[in-house]
């Protein structure tokens, strides 16, 4: 066994060395490797069971190799950015090397049986960002163990016996989200085993700059549980070269976590980084000669080699032979990866060259074209972009020759563009049968008995139906449990469904989202509440870097259908009435962003999203919970489709486009304008991502020839986005008889109090005056006033 381990570690080390060489020789753009961490990871792998999850970072190549979830050829394929999911199944060439992923989904987007594999969440580069989702990955085991309604979901869990393994570098523990996650996992008593690889540095910065006392486990000691009690962590400190102790430690830590759901932290010290941080620099610049000598002596691989010889497991000569064979093996895998990567690109270059050669025959630009062709054929390391540049150059030379041969080039180029758009752009959203875009409208049904209730009661009935219908649905957030959320949408649901399905959390927005991501990766359907839209900013980074990119960066290998529920727009002051929708829609491409104007629409969107596998943010209108609405008889079934605007008021003179809380204001202004003979058509876009999928706004514009975009965001924010969608993308410009206009909130944040609000956000009078002036420009005779 130990020989097997040594050889695996040795191969992994060779992969690091060769990987660096390949990068520095220009075959890869960047290289970051796990050298120095091999032995820890082999020990960790021994404790890893099928069904478990990893949430780690770029040093974990040996762990992935040891689990059999990465081959050496795949390792090199990723280094070369081989953009083919068969060759590089982690990210299909979309992420740099060292970003590990296991495919949790079948090609059709449905879940695999996660109990049959060693699972890994998809790595991200921002350090520490693997921690928030670890909360949910670990907490899911508790839910699967303790919730009877989840007993049948055996594809995701075996009675909650799964451990979530987190890995992080010493320096990254200085990130806030590390602490938030460690605390949350402890509070949730969830089976995570967190490894901190401590090599004393974070690139060039030493521990004394990272951590109080320069020692993370000393600082973490307050999390240590009292023996015999469940509250808190088991904390271990082990040397990174001490193979037998590492194996014992992980067996023990994972065993307790698995059985008792007590989390553990393993602080691995005396680790080294033989090749330095990455290929972007050399560690000789910042490590002293003494340190480098120390690293050499404490290299874990070297230590294991000596230990094997000392124990008599193999002789120096035996090991030398094995190493020779292993070096050859790694080199062969590298070669295979390089050829697999290069062959299709070269073939495309040859195809392009042949087309250019054909076009050259009989062309006035023949000599230039043949030069382009030769450049394509003699390039030893072509990229697809070189071929495209060659084709482009040829098309420029042929610009005056409208021949079938030129046309053949154009068609070939377009086909390449399509396949590269697919190669690099697919799976931003779900492509499965469960895509939210496939959910059709089921309109609300009302009868004589449909009661008039408060808005929050509509939501309450919707969530009740969802929790009843689907045992995978869970809701949590600050004040969501006992109180039923600050606006009562979840009122009474904890009593009905229990503390694990409708739960309070600490004030920790980043890990509320992380909790949701991890739970969703393990097959659950979380509704994660961020109490106010303004506090979504705390979680925007993790939403953007992790959740929104997940399906795309794994080429459809993973999904996390999280619903983020929040409330916003208008209420009071800077931190309770923000509407930073542009920041959200721009950072969260890959999620749906839904802005219902009332609670019935919100309920319809929740029902749509709960039937789908895309992640989304739903922004409820903060001042709508006490407004009365009729409760649909089919509150659990009604759905509102995404990307379909609704005309709230028909009109022929001007189109007013808005969403969310502004709908009420714009409707009121439209009524007042109607009394002056101006018929405004009011459109609620309903969802910002996706936006007006079928061009409904253009149809309105064709009728009115005038358009105003109104919202509470800053000038140039979401109104600018809507303007681009309609005027540029839908080609609305050709139907305009007046300049398009926007009306927004102010650039400063909303001031407190009703007057503060009035002077910070669009109001009825402003809408009226802007539209009236617009109509004055059209017909001064009918609308004589031009100043207000
Ligand atoms: C949020 C963020 N800040 C900075 C970086 C740039 N960066 C990449 S790795 C790294 C050092 C990480 O050190 P450590 O956590 O000790 O891990 P190691 O690389 O030493 O294994 C830094 C600063 C980053 N990727 N993400």
What is the pLDDT at residue 569?
Answer: 86
At 208, is the pLDDT very low, low, confident or very high (cuts 50, 70, 90)? Answer: very high
* Segment 439-493, tens digit of pLDDT: 999 999 999 999 999 999 999 999 999 999 999 999 999 999 999 999 999 999 9
Residue 779 pLDDT > 90: yes
Contact 126 CB / ligand 1 (< 6 Å): yes
Q: Residue 173 C-alpha to ligand 1 middle, in angstroms? A: 10
Q: What is the mean pLDDT of residues 716-735?
A: 98
Q: What three-state secondary structure class fits 53?
A: strand
- Averaged pLDDT, 339-364: 96
**pLDDT tier for residue 787 given thresholds of 50, 70 and 90:** confident
Tokens coding 760: 């910070």
Residue nearest to ligand 1 atom 7, measured at CA: 127
Q: Supply the pLDDT for residue 576.
A: 87
Alpha helices by DSSP H, 597-750: 599-610, 662-675, 696-704, 718-723
Average pLDDT over residues 627-634: 98
Q: Percent of the chain having pLDDT more than 90?
A: 97
Inter-CA distances, 735 with 33, 645, 702, 774, Å: 56, 19, 6, 16
Which pLDDT value is given to residue 239?
98
Catalytically active residues, by annotation: 576
Q: Which residue has the tokens 């010290």?
A: 269
| Other CB atoms within 10 Å distance of the CB of residue 148 | 8
Q: Is the CB of 35 under 6 A from ligand 1?
A: no
Bridge pairing between strands 205-206 and 201-202: antiparallel
Closest CA to 619 of 634, 641, 599, 636: 599
Q: What is the mean pLDDT of residues 487-505?
A: 98
498 lines ligand 1 (CB under 6 A): no
> What is the 502 CA–ligand 1 centroid distance (Å)?
36
Q: Is 271 near ligand 1, meaning CB less than 6 Å away?
A: no
CA of residue 127 to ligand 1 center, whole Å? 5
Mean pLDDT of 402-430: 96
58 alpha carbon – ligand 1 mean position (Å): 10
| pLDDT recorded at residue 749 | 93
Structure tokens at 285: 């610049």
The mean of the pLDDT values for the chain is 97
Q: Which atom of ligand 1 is nearest to the CA of 273?
A: 20
Cα–Cα distance measured from residue 475 to residue 644, given in angstroms and rounded to the nearest whole number: 27
Structure tokens at 470: 């689907």
If pLDDT is split at 50, 70 and 90, which confidence band does 618 have?
Answer: very high
Q: How far apart are the CA of 434 and the centre of ligand 1, in A?
A: 37
Q: What pLDDT, in 10s, does the model give residues 16-73?
A: 999 999 999 999 999 999 999 999 999 999 999 999 999 999 999 999 999 999 999 9
- With a CB cutoff of 8 Å and minimum separation 6, the contacts of 553 are 91, 94, 95, 99, 101, 122, 124
pLDDT of residue 271: 97
Decide: 197 in ligand 1 pocket, CB within 6 A: yes
Q: Residue 57 CA: which ligand 1 atom is closest?
A: 21
pLDDT at 228: 87
Model pTM?
0.98
Best substitution site from 31, 203, 286, 540 to test ligand 1's pocket, by max atoms within 8 Å of Cβ?
203
Nearest ligand 1 atom to the CA of 198 is 16
Tell me: the pLDDT tens digits for 559-593?
A: 999 999 999 987 788 998 889 999 999 999 999 99
Q: What's the token pair of residue 133?
A: 């989702």
User: What CA–CA distance (Å, rounded) separates 441 from 427?
Assistant: 24
| Centroid of chain to Cα 394 | 40
**178 CB less than 6 Å from ligand 1?**
no
Report whether 474 contacts 529 (CB < 8 A). no
- State pLDDT tens for residues 92-146: 999 999 999 999 999 999 999 999 999 999 999 999 999 999 999 999 999 999 9
- From the CB of 170, is ligand 1 less than 6 Å away? yes
pLDDT of 572: 81
């Amino acid at each position: 066994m130990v020989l097997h381990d040594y050889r695996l570690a040795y191969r992994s080390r060779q992969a690091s060395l060769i990987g660096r060489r390949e990068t520095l020789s220009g075959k890869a753009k960047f290289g970051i490797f796990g050298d120095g961490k091999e032995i820890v990871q082999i020990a960790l792998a021994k404790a890893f069971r099928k069904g478990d999850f990893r949430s780690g970072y770029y040093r974990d190549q040996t762990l992935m190799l040891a689990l059999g979830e990465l081959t050496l050829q795949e390792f090199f394929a990723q280094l070369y950015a081989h953009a083919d999911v068969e060759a590089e199944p982690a990210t299909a060439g979309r992420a740099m090397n060292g970003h590990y992923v296991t495919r949790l989904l079948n090609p059709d987007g449905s879940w695999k049986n996660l109990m049959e594999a060693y699972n890994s969440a998809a790595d991200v580069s921002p350090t520490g960002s693997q921690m928030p989702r670890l909360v949910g990955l670990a907490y899911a085991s508790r839910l699967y163990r303790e919730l009877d309604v989840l007993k049948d979901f055996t594809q995701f869990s075996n009675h909650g016996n799964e451990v979530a393994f987190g890995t992080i570098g010493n320096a990254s523990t200085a990130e806030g989200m590390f602490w938030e996650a460690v605390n949350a996992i402890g509070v949730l008593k969830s089976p995570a085993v967190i490894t901190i690889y401590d090599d004393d540095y974070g690139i060039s910065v030493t521990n004394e700059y990272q951590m109080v006392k320069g020692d993370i486990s000393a600082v973490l000691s307050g999390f240590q549980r009292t023996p015999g009690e469940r509250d808190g962590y088991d904390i271990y400190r082990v040397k990174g070269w001490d193979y037998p102790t590492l194996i014992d430690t992980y067996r023990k830590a994972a065993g307790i976590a698995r059985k008792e759901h007590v989390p553990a932290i393993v602080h691995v010290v005396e680790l080294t980084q033989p090749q330095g941080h990455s290929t972007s620099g050399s560690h000789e610049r910042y490590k002293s000669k003494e340190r480098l000598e120390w690293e050499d002596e404490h290299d874990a691989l070297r230590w294991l080699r000596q230990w094997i010889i000392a124990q008599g497991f193999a002789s120096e000569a035996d090991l030398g032979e094995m190493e020779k064979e292993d070096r050859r093996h790694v080199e062969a895998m590298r070669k295979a990866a390089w050829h697999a990567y290069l062959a299709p690109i070269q073939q495309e270059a040859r195809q392009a060259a042949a087309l250019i050669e054909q076009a050259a025959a009989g062309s006035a630009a023949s000599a230039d074209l043949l030069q382009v062709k030769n450049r394509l054929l003699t390039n030893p390391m072509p990229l697809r972009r070189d071929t495209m540049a060659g084709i482009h150059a040829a098309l420029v030379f042929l610009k005056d020759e409208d021949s079938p041969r030129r046309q053949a080039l154009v068609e070939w180029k377009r086909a390449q563009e399509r396949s590269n758009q697919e190669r690099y752009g697919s799976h931003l959203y779900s492509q499965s049968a469960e895509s939210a875009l496939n959910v059709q409208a089921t309109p609300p049904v009302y009868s004589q008995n449909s009661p008039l209730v408060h808005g929050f009661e509509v939501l309450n009935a919707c969530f009740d139906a969802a929790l009843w219908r689907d045992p995978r649905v869970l809701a949590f957030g600050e004040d969501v449990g006992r109180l039923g959320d600050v606006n009562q949408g979840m009122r009474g649901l904890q009593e009905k469904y229990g503390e694990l399905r409708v739960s309070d959390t600490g004030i920790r927005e980043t890990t509320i989202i992380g909790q949701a991501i991890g739970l969703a990766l393990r097959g659950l359907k979380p509704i994660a509440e961020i109490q106010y839209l303004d506090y979504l900013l705390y979680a925007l980074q993790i939403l953007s870097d992790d959740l929104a990119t997940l399906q795309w960066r794994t080429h459809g290998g993973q999904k996390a259908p999280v619903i983020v529920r929040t409330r916003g727009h208008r209420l009071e002051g800077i931190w309770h009435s923000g509407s930073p929708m542009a920041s959200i829609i721009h950072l969260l491409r890959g999620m749906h962003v839904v802005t219902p104007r009332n609670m019935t629409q919100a309920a319809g969107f929740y029902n749509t999203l709960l039937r789908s596998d895309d992640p989304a943010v739903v922004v409820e209108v903060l001042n709508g919970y006490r407004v009365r609405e009729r409760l649909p008889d089919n509150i659990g079934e009604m759905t509102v489709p995404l990307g379909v605007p609704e005309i709230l008021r028909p009109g022929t003179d001007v189109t007013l486009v808005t969403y969310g809380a502004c709908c009420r204001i714009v409707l009121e202004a439209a009524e007042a304008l109607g009394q002056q003979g101006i018929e405004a058509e009011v459109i609620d876009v309903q969802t910002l991502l996706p936006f007006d999928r079928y061009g409904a706004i253009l149809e309105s514009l064709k009728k009115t020839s005038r358009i105003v975009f109104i919202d509470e965001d800053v000038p140039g924010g979401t109104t600018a986005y809507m303007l681009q969608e309609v005027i540029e993308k839908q080609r609305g410009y050709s139907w305009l008889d007046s300049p398009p206009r926007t009306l927004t909130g102010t650039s400063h944040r909303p001031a407190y109090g009703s007057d503060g609000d009035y002077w910070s956000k669009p109001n009825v009078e402003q809408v009226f005056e802007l539209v009236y002036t617009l109509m004055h420009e059209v017909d001064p005779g009918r609308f004589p006033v031009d100043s207000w």
